[in-house]
Amino acid sequence: MTAHYLIRQRITLGVNRYELWTSDASWAPVTELAFAQQKRMKLKEEVPFFADDSKQAVRFSLKARNVMDVASVVDVVDVDGSVIGSFSKDFKKSLLISTWYVDQPGLPRAIGQEVSQLYAIVRRIGFEFVPYDFLFTAEDTGQPVMSIVRKWGVRDAYRITVEDERYDARLLLAMATGLDFLQNR
């Protein structure tokens, strides 16, 4: 069964704020799942995902293992601190086409790459407004795990389609959210 999600960025100064929703096939939000807030220019990322924008209850978080660098690993942790999974960027492969890995214990690694190499090159020569789409596939079978489609606008929005529901949605949604602020580092 396929699951659809929507991530919408709120326009603010000094912090990135994101609303995470379940969605229907036409991008319309259905149920709010979480609210995330990321302070810009931090050397070691730690982003809590709250139940809502009152920020009273944390549902899960993403935490960089080290100071953010070109090969940093980011863990996604539950409220009790247990690691759900992790994601990382392959810096060398990403010179030509952005490549990310998602790892969840007990499941095959998911490898995500930009769908269009042409768009990837165009963005690298200074046209960052060109939207990017990612397809993540299981390393062992090549079967789709999830896709991320960026809808460019006044505020960014991302449509996430999860094809393999064995993967924890919190891990995939944290990765998709992190993609917004980590992709251009």
Assess whether pLDDT exceeds 80 at residue 174: yes
Cα angle value 103/149/114 (rounded, 5°) = 60
The domain segmentation of the chain, as residue ranges, is 3-182
What is the pTM (predicted TM-score) of this model?
0.91
Q: Quick one: average pLDDT of 10-35?
A: 91
Assess whether pLDDT exceeds 50 at residue 185: no
Contacts of 13 (CB under 8 A, 6+ apart): none
Percent of the chain whose predicted confidence (pLDDT) is above 70: 92
Confidence of residue 67 (pLDDT cuts 50, 70, 90): confident
Question: Tell me: the pLDDT tens digits for 99-140?
Answer: 999 999 999 999 999 987 777 777 777 766 677 799 999 999
Question: Tell me: the pLDDT tens digits for 47-64?
Answer: 999 999 999 999 999 998
pLDDT at 41: 67
Of 4 and 125, the structure prediction assigns the larger pLDDT to 4
Phi/psi region, residue 27 (left: phi>0; alpha: psi -120 to 50; beta: rest), is left
Of 93 and 32, the structure prediction assigns the larger pLDDT to 32
**For 175, which DSSP code?**
H
Query: d(Cα 124, Cα 42) in Å, to the nearest integer?
Result: 23
Q: Quick one: average pLDDT of 84-111?
A: 93
Mean pLDDT of all residues belonging to the chain: 89
For 82, how many CA atoms within 13 A lie in the half-sphere containing its CB? 4
